[in-house]
């Protein structure tokens, strides 16, 4: 008996509790989570920090996805980054035996769940409100930050998928 693969999140219909204009952001974040979880299911732990030809490791990309969502949603709330967030940013990509596949997936899952909660509590009437990003105070909007979080997440999800397959192939 084979199990039928579910369609992508955007093909499954609206996500309960998410405003209509934010559905694409939620769909993208949930799709990314699913794809990362799937690719890591049988991924060898010893390859997690491998940097093929000096490129970023699978672990880095997952840490970065988690951090980007956290940081961009912080800016969308109108806040600046705190010391803990800045420290996390500095630690992204630094290999550590304490950062396991399980921890990476737990952190990613938790961050995406937090983002979905924020999206569910966001009123569409604030989406075009101005927000400032980073020390340089670069202007953006709430929806711009949410969209970039989704877009950047999917960009690095693609890199996770390709890098994972590549490091497995060269490890053989």
Q: Classify residue 106: in a domain, yes or no.
A: yes
Domain around 122: 18-171
DSSP secondary structure string for all residues of 106-145: HHHHHHHHHHHHHHHH--GGGTT-EEEETTTTEEEEHHHH
* CATH number of the domain bearing residue 31: 1.20.120.450
Q: Which two tokens stand for residue 160?
A: 């996770």
Q: Over the stretch 133-170, which tens digit does the pLDDT of each residue have? A: 999 999 999 999 999 999 999 999 999 999 999 999 99
Whole-structure pTM value: 0.94
Q: Over the stretch 43-93, which tens digit does the pLDDT of each residue have? A: 999 999 999 999 999 999 999 999 999 999 999 999 999 999 999 999 999
If one counts every other C-beta atom within 10 angstroms of the C-beta of residue 163, the result is 23
Q: Classify residue 5: in a domain, yes or no.
A: no
């Amino acid at each position: 008996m084979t199990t039928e693969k579910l369609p992508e999140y955007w093909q499954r219909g609206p996500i309960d509790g998410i405003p209509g204009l934010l559905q694409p952001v939620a769909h993208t974040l949930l799709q990314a989570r699913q794809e990362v979880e799937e690719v890591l299911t049988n991924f060898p732990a010893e390859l997690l920090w491998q940097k093929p030809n000096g490129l970023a490791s699978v672990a880095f990309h997952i840490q970065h996805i988690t951090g980007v969502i956290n940081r961009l949603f912080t800016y969308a709330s109108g806040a600046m980054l705190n010391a803990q967030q800045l420290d996390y940013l500095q630690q992204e990509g630094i290999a550590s035996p304490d950062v396991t596949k399980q921890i990476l997936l737990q952190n990613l899952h938790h961050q995406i769940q937090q983002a979905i909660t924020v999206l569910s509590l966001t009123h569409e009437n604030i989406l075009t409100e101005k927000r400032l990003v980073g020390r340089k105070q670069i202007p953006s909007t709430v929806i711009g930050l949410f969209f970039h979080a989704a877009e950047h997440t999917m960009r690095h999800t693609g890199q996770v998928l390709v890098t994972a397959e590549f490091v497995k192939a060269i490890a053989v």
